[in-house]
């Protein structure tokens, strides 16, 4: 059994362990794991005071953990002070407002309460901190770093050259290798999140607000969930792609790009196709020919 002295020593030890997570989010169950595994203390072995984990956190860790939001049957806490739940709901458009270089709207933060908002092109931005969005130069840098760190599998073709412009490079990767495109997508998302954090720091956003806004952006990105059927279709089409890196070298670069664009468009859903920006005249001519 644990004594009351053991309990107070465990609380001090727990606070010390939680310092390694400062500025992050953590679940109540994870706090309980740290208490048992790293502080070697179990609440059920304490006679006095009798506490549940949530009572322990509320009464003895209020200077270390701030309740943020329910998470299933658990509670999500911010390790630090001052993080209040956001009233804005994550939406994919928040992600594109920051992550898409050609998106007309912007991701902004309201100065009064640090809430995220979408700013349209000509909207009054008074009282807002507008985050500089991801630029094509940023994406080119991410592309170059991915080429440097990505390990090519034994049966995979080399990645297209870093000298190829970004949009054409992505189209070639998408058309030639599902596995490499998947690895690229994950890498790009993580690097964009790092850029987001750097932009927040440069704007002087408080640490507690940085953490909740980073989480908000991640949740917004995950709002674009592709169907199982769509993923299966991509895998089937990726397996059927016959273009190889070697054969591309002997072909006209413009034709390679057109073929890659066609391959990409064939994989898009109707809703994704509706988002494409196509010349109205050419589209009308194509429909009349059909």
Q: How confident is the model at residue 140 (pLDDT cuts 50, 70, 90)?
A: very high
Spell out the residues 6+ positions from residue 77 whose beta carbon is closer than 8 angstroms to its own. Answer: 25, 26, 27, 28, 31, 57, 65, 66, 67, 68
Instruction: Look at residue 145 and give its three-state secondary structure.
Output: helix
Distances from the Cα of 228 to the Cαs of 91, 106, 121, 185, 206, in angstroms?
21, 31, 35, 17, 39
Residue 93 DSSP symbol: H
Alpha-carbon span 261 to 159, nearest angstrom: 17
The dihedrals phi and psi of 87, each to the nearest 5 degrees, come to: -85, -25
Q: What percent of the chain has pLDDT over 70?
A: 76
Q: How confident is the model at residue 246 (pLDDT cuts 50, 70, 90)?
A: very low
Alpha-carbon span 128 to 210, nearest angstrom: 15
What pLDDT does residue 188 have?
97
Q: Closest by alpha carbon to 238, among 156, 144, 152?
A: 156
In this prediction, residues 162-167 reach a mean pLDDT of 94
Alpha-carbon span 158 to 163, nearest angstrom: 14
**pTM flag (> 0.75):** no
What are the residue ranges of helices labelled H in 106-265?
136-149, 166-176, 178-202, 207-221, 228-240, 245-249, 253-265
Q: Is 70 exceeded by the pLDDT of residue 144?
A: yes
Buried b (16+ CB within 10 A) or exposed e, 213-246: bbbbbebbbeeeeeeeeeeeebeeebeeeebeee
**204 close to 177: Cβ distance less than 8 angstroms:** no
Q: How confident is the model at residue 245 (pLDDT cuts 50, 70, 90)?
A: very low
Return mean pLDDT, the chain.
82
Instruction: Look at residue 27 and give its three-state secondary structure.
Output: strand
Alpha-carbon span 143 to 136, nearest angstrom: 10
Query: What digits encode the pLDDT tens for the residues 113-131?
Result: 889 999 987 777 889 999 9
Alpha-carbon span 88 to 85, nearest angstrom: 9
Alpha-carbon dihedral 75, 226, 145, 147, rounded to 10 degrees: 140
Q: Is 50 exceeded by the pLDDT of residue 17?
A: yes
Q: Is 60 exceeded by the pLDDT of residue 268?
A: no
Q: Is 80 exceeded by the pLDDT of residue 236?
A: no
What pLDDT does residue 196 have?
97
Sheet holding 128-130, edge to edge: 116-119, 106-110, 128-130
Alpha-carbon span 164 to 162, nearest angstrom: 5
N-term to C-term CA, the chain: 81
What are the domain boundaries of the chain?
A: 4-79, 135-289
**Pairwise pLDDT comparison (181 vs 240), residue with the higher score:** 181
């Amino acid at each position: 059994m644990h004594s009351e002295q053991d309990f107070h020593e465990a609380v001090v030890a727990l606070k010390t362990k939680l310092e390694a997570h400062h500025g992050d989010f953590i679940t109540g169950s994870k706090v309980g794991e740290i208490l048992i595994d790293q502080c070697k203390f179990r609440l059920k072995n304490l006679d006095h005071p009798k506490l549940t984990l949530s009572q322990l956190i509320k009464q003895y860790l209020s200077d270390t953990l701030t309740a943020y939001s329910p998470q299933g049957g658990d509670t999500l806490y911010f390790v630090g002070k001052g993080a209040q739940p956001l009233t804005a709901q994550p939406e994919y458009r928040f992600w594109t407002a920051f992550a898409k270089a050609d998106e007309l709207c912007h991701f902004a933060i309201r100065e009064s309460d640090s809430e995220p908002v979408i700013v349209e092109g000509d909207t009054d931005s008074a009282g807002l901190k507008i985050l500089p969005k991801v630029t094509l130069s940023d994406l080119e840098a991410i592309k170059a770093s991915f080429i440097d760190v990505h390990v090519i599998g034994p049966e995979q073709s080399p990645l297209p050259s870093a000298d190829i412009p970004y949009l054409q490079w992505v189209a070639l990767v998408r058309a030639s290798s599902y596995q490499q495109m998947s690895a690229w997508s994950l890498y790009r998302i993580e690097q964009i999140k790092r850029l987001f954090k750097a932009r927040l720091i440069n704007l002087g956003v408080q640490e507690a607000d940085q953490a909740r806004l980073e989480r908000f952006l991640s949740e917004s990105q995950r709002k674009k969930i592709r169907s199982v059927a769509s993923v299966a279709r991509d895998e089937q089409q990726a397996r059927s792609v016959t273009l190889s890196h070697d054969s591309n070298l002997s072909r006209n670069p413009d034709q390679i790009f057109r073929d890659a664009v066609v391959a990409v468009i064939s994989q898009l859903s109707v809703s994704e196709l509706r988002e494409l920006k196509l010349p109205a005249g050419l589209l009308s001519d194509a429909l009349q020919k059909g």
